[in-house]
Amino acid sequence: QLVESGGGVVQPGGSLRLSCVASGFTFSSFGMHWVRQAPGKGLEWVAFIDYGGNDKYFADSVKGRLTIARDSSKNTVSLQMSSLRVDDTAVYYCAKDTGNYKFSWYFDLWGRGTLVTVS
Amino acid sequence: QSGLTQPPSVSGAPGQRVTLSCTGSISNIGSGYGVHWYQQLPGTAPKLLIYNNNNRPSGVPDRFSGSKSGSSASLAITGLQAEDEADYYCQTYDTSLSGSVFGTGTKVTVL
């Protein structure tokens, strides 16, 4: 399973760090994504980190403001968010890539999400 | 043009068949990457429903099926049931964005 934490209320321009703890699979073998959903809106892919932590990709809407990292010793992936804007308000989901030591770019396990409110 | 387009809503009576469309472009669906579908029940996280165009994960009923042609894809639900009332999203990889892209989502209502 995946369990996110770290959400909360932050002022525009502020920073926040989200974490996702994984269990039940070999964390070090799979890439991890963050996907967000603004209130009442659709899904938006945000970021991806590969199984080794070397390759990272970001949506244009967050590039330069968000960083992603992983700690395989703690089975954790994190999302450091800075220069937050009102339109970053969303539920942020952690999601597991299906590719075992490769990139598949789709998700077979999701967390319950953590709400970030920028106001 | 980035992004995948889906109809906002689709409805059907119990037992009927409904089809959800997902229209992309040459940089995503048309580039050869697989299309995946997710079901999101109210208040819950999305769940993988169909992967790589037409494959069902274990546990997904065979009432759900997917297809892809050119730069478009579709999800069919046969024998519609009340429990199928949810939001459905298509998703794939976009070569021009170097990242994943979701469809706009379709809300399925069971009449």
Q: Cβ(B63)–Cβ(B78) under 8 Å?
A: yes
Q: Least CB-CB distance to A42: which of B34, B89, B98? A: B89
Residue B2 pLDDT level (bands cut at 50, 70, 90): low
- Using the structure block, give the residue that is written with the tokens 């953590």: A114
Closest-CA residue to B52 (of B74, B35, B64, B40) = B35
Q: What is the pLDDT of residue A50?
A: 95
Q: What is the C-alpha to C-alpha distance for residues A5 and A3, in angstroms, rounded to an integer?
A: 7
- Do the Cβ atoms of B91 and A106 come within 8 Å? yes
pLDDT grade, residue A102 (50/70/90)?
confident
Inter-CA distances, A66 with A57, A74, A101, B75, Å: 10, 21, 24, 33
Q: What is the pLDDT of residues A86-101, one digit of tens each?
A: 999 999 999 999 988 8
For B38-62, the pLDDT digits (tens) are 999 999 999 999 999 999 999 999 9
- Could you tell me if A31 lies within 8 Å of chain B, comparing CB atoms? no
State the pLDDT at residue A100. 82
Q: How confident is the model at residue A60 (pLDDT cuts 50, 70, 90)?
A: very high
Q: Give yes or no for a contact between A4 and A112, defined as CB atoms under 8 angstroms apart.
A: yes
Q: Kindly tell me if the per-residue pLDDT of A117 is higher than 70.
A: yes
Burial of B59 (0-12, 13-18, 19+ CB in 10 A): exposed
